[in-house]
A and B are shown apart, each in its own frame.
Chain A
Amino acid sequence: MGLWTVAITAAHGFLNLDWAKRFRPDPASAAAGNHEKFRVGFLPVTCHLTCPVTDFINKQLAGENLFEPMRFNGWPELKEAFLAGRTPATFLLAPMAIALREQGVPIKVVYLGHRDGSAVMVHKDSDIRRMQDLRGKRIAVPNRYSNQRLLIFRALNDAGMRIEDVQLIEMPPPDMPAALFAKAVDAISSGEPFMAQTELDGYGRVLWLTKDVWPNFISCVLAVHEDMIRDHREVVQELVTGIAKSGKWLDQTMDHRMDAAQFVAKNYYNQHPRLLEFVLSKPPDRVKYTNLSLRRGDFEEIEKLGQQAGILKGTARFEDYTDCSFVPDESAIPPHAWPGLKK
């Protein structure tokens, strides 16, 4: 038993934990090791794409990255790791960040993750063509704090309908395509690439993209713990600048987006590159990564809808939960000076 424990521990260490590197430290990584890397939480969704893109490009340009991207599998674990202080910075749903602030968590939103990049999908065989057709139907949303839920509220408001007219069901986004396929729900809404997946596989139809209903929609933001800002302001600055440069780089050319689809799908998301290629190009403004500085008007709209949806109390103000000082002028930030994969 003792022998087994030693053997399996050694096998795990060398196969999964890179112990070989630890026992033979080369001077470069030893020097880098002096400065403990901080972790940034993210999920394998396109809303968080700038996180792995920044990591990858920093490694290409400088040989290493100042932060360690930490992939999670679901919203609760992502949020809990942040609350426990294990990930001092994380990508997070905007309404959830505001709600955490209302509950007394010292959280600051420092930058947006993306704009647009969501959709409402229905089964291609269904006769749902407009919002009004969803009356009495079941719509899946990721989480009560998700902006997709607020998006449905706004679309209902616009269509002159009430929330009682539809039935909202909370469901993890990875499970949504199968639920739509099986017609267990009538419509699904979450971040990409799960919506595009139903389209690619031929059973989903776009009812509308976010840009049609709520132009410049925000779903995820980059949030940082206040202690991190106080104690390591320069590191946070470097992170935010890197994220902003990545956004600019992604929106610079379609080639950049296709490169990102390749290296992110393979190295970070474990998804088929075709899926990300589809999301990032069909249509090109399905999701956008520029124009990401924080604007009061966007957040006040979220606050208003959040109160209507019963997830926000309205006790936290824009000044409380944001810190706009890291990107005072977005237009001054250039894209990463990295030509992409092929050159």
Chain B
Amino acid sequence: MTAIATSRPVGRTTLALALPLLTAAVLIAGWHAAVVASGSDLFPKPYEVVNGIVELAERGLLVKYVVASLFRVTWGFSLAVLVGVPLGLVLGWFRPAYLALNPLIQVLRPISPIAWIPVAILWFGIEDTAPIFLIFLASVFPITVSAMAAVQNMQQVYLRAAKNFGLTGLPLFARVILPAALPQILTGIRIALGVAWLVVVAAEMIAVQSGLGYLINDARNAGKRYDLVVAGMVLIGLVGLVLDLLVRRLERFDSVRWGYGQR
């Protein structure tokens, strides 16, 4: 019994590492074969992309660009959390506020950040503030909507219990509503972080001179440097993976964990 209990997690970890690596290996081999078969020298082979990344590292650009993109996403996303969570909680709790603002939010939500580029340039110019604004816009709506839904879908039994204990006002909010909504809010935040990182390419189409999105736009201007275009894509993907792993850790806190099923 104990032997099974200890050996199972080890087997799982190995499998959890081996399976994705196997998928990646198959995909990379297929990529290489497809480029060779096409006979084109425009689209880079996998090792050329690795060389591109090495070249970026040697020129000192790799760290610079990753930092620049993370900087913009950090600020845009943090502002979105600071605005989105309270706004969503208020909208979820006060019905008049919901009636007044929800249609507006639903109108703004589907507009792509790319469409906002002219507005961002007009309002914020060509500094870092413009891409931060775009990232904020892309991530604030998923956060607001998830916080709103979290409060609205809260189980009535929590509220009734709270009322029986005589909780009202701020204590009710802090001790019942927020904890009850937190798991769903965190799911919204996790999705929003993915979206924030997703729009980094679009946000860096403005005149900024650094970042992974800039790297892609710049490489398109540089003639036949599609190896760097794909290198930018790969780096965005890898950083995105790390970000997702980090946010998943948030879900392990006890104040959140209860909200998830036991799987």
Contact = CB atoms under 8 A, between A and B. Distances in A.
B64 A77 contact: no
B175 interface: no
B205 A271 contact: no
Contact of A271 (B125, B214, B221): B221
Interface residues of A, number: 42
B121 interface: yes
Given A16-B64, A70-B126, A86-B125, A77 B224 contact: no
A269 B222 contact: yes
Contact of B126 (A74, A86, A269): A86
Contacts, number: 101
A77 B121 contact: yes
Nearest to B120: A80
Nearest to B217: A73
Given A12-B67, A73-B205, A178-B42, A84 B222 contact: no
Given A5-B75, A81-B121, A73 B221 contact: yes
Interface in A178-202: 178, 181-182, 193-194, 197, 201
A175 B221 CA distance: 9
A52 interface: no
B217 A8 contact: no
B220 A1 contact: no
Contacts of B78: 1, 5
Given A71-B207, A77-B121, A174 B126 contact: no
Contacts of B68: 12, 15-16
6 shortest interchain CB distances as A-B pairs = A12-B71, A174-B220, A73-B217, A16-B210, A84-B122, A80-B121
A180 to B, nearest CB: 10
Q: Is the interface of B mostly helix, strand, loop or mixed?
A: helix
B205 A74 contact: yes
Interface string B205-227: 11101100010011011111010
A72 B214 CA distance: 10
B70 interface: yes
A61 interface: no
Contacts of A177: 42, 223-224
A271 B214 CA distance: 14
B117 interface: yes
B27 interface: no
A74 to B, nearest CB: 7
A138 B198 CA distance: 33
B40 interface: yes
A69 to B, nearest CB: 11
A200 to B, nearest CB: 8
A104 to B, nearest CB: 16
A160 interface: no
A34 interface: no
Contacts of B75: 5, 9
Given A1-B78, A8-B71, A84-B121, 12 more contacts: A5-B78, A8-B74, A11-B67, A15-B63, A15-B68, A73-B207, A80-B117, A80-B122, A81-B125, A83-B122, A193-B223, A271-B221
Q: Which of A1, A71, A77, A177 is packed against the most chain B CB atoms within 10 Å? A: A77
B118 interface: yes
Interface string B29-40: 000000000001
A8 B239 CA distance: 14
Given A70-B126, A77-B206, A80-B118, A9 B71 contact: yes
Interface residues of B, number: 33
Contacts of A72: 207
A281 B253 CA distance: 65
Interface of B: 40-42, 63-64, 67-68, 70-71, 74-75, 78, 117-118, 121-122, 125-126, 128, 205-207, 209-210, 214, 217-218, 220-224, 226
A270 interface: yes
Interface in A56-90: 70-74, 76-77, 80-81, 83-84, 86-87
Contacts of B224: 177, 197, 201
Contacts of B64: 15-16
Interface in A1-38: 1, 4-5, 8-9, 11-12, 15-16
A194 B236 CA distance: 27
A142 interface: no
A137 interface: no
B233 to A, nearest CB: 15
A9 B75 CA distance: 9
Q: Which of B75, B126, B128, B206 is packed against the most chain A CB atoms within 10 Å? A: B126
Nearest to B41: A201
B42 A86 contact: no
A275 interface: yes
A84 B125 contact: yes
8 contacts: A11-B67, A16-B64, A44-B222, A73-B214, A73-B220, A178-B226, A197-B224, A270-B221
A272 interface: yes
A269 B122 contact: no
A275 B42 CA distance: 16
A80 B223 CA distance: 25
